[in-house]
């Protein structure tokens, strides 16, 4: 994105904060496209929908738009919000490993064998005389 484009986005955001609804709609439309591209590049596996990240980011921008410093570029602020929303989405997804019960059925049977062996070892140790 060129400096001119970023300056235009900053201008639109300033106008939006001043109450210009058309500027705000234009700003959100442009930002949505940028955030969508950002989310798609960062999400390499399934499980997180880029559109969820876009919607969460736009909502956060709407709620927190008063926190943007008007003398600062708007894009770093937007991308910071998008990054945090992406992290939140990954956290919500969690990391789950699915294992078929048949794959571990033998593992469940093994502790009995180990317990018997442990019992035999303890019995043998108890039978030893102190040195």
Any domain includes 115: no
Instruction: Tell me how far apart the alpha carbons of residues 9 and 28 are, in angstroms, rounded to a whole number.
Output: 9
Main-chain dihedrals φ then ψ at residue 79, nearest 5 degrees: -65, -30
Could you give the 3-state DSSP secondary structure of residue 85? helix
pLDDT of 107 reads 45
Among 44-48, 64-68, 78-82, 98-102, the least confident range: 98-102
117 vs 79, residue with greater confidence: 79
103 vs 15, residue with greater confidence: 15
Any domain includes 120: no
pLDDT tens profile 8-31: 999 999 999 999 999 999 999 999
**DSSP class of 66:** G
Any domain includes 58: yes
pLDDT of 127 reads 82
Any domain includes 104: no
Any domain includes 47: yes
Any domain includes 103: no
**CATH code, 27:** 1.10.1740.10
29 vs 123, residue with greater confidence: 29
Domain range for 69:
3-93
**pTM reported for the whole predicted model:** 0.68
Instruction: Tell me how far apart the alpha carbons of residues 17 and 11 are, in angstroms, rounded to a whole number.
Output: 10
Report how many domains make up the chain: 1
């Amino acid at each position: 994105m060129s400096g001119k484009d970023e300056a235009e986005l900053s201008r639109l955001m300033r106008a939006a904060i001043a109450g210009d609804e058309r500027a705000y709609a234009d700003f959100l439309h442009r930002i949505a496209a940028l955030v969508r591209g950002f989310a798609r590049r960062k999400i390499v596996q399934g499980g997180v929908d880029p559109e969820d990240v876009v919607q969460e980011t736009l909502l956060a921008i709407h709620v927190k738009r008063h926190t943007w410093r008007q003398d600062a570029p708007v894009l770093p602020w937007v991308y910071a919000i998008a990054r945090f929303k992406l992290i939140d989405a990954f956290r919500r997804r969690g990391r789950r490993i699915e294992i078929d019960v048949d794959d571990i059925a033998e593992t469940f049977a093994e502790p009995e064998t180990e317990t018997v062996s442990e019992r035999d070892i303890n019995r043998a140790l108890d039978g030893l005389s102190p040195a």
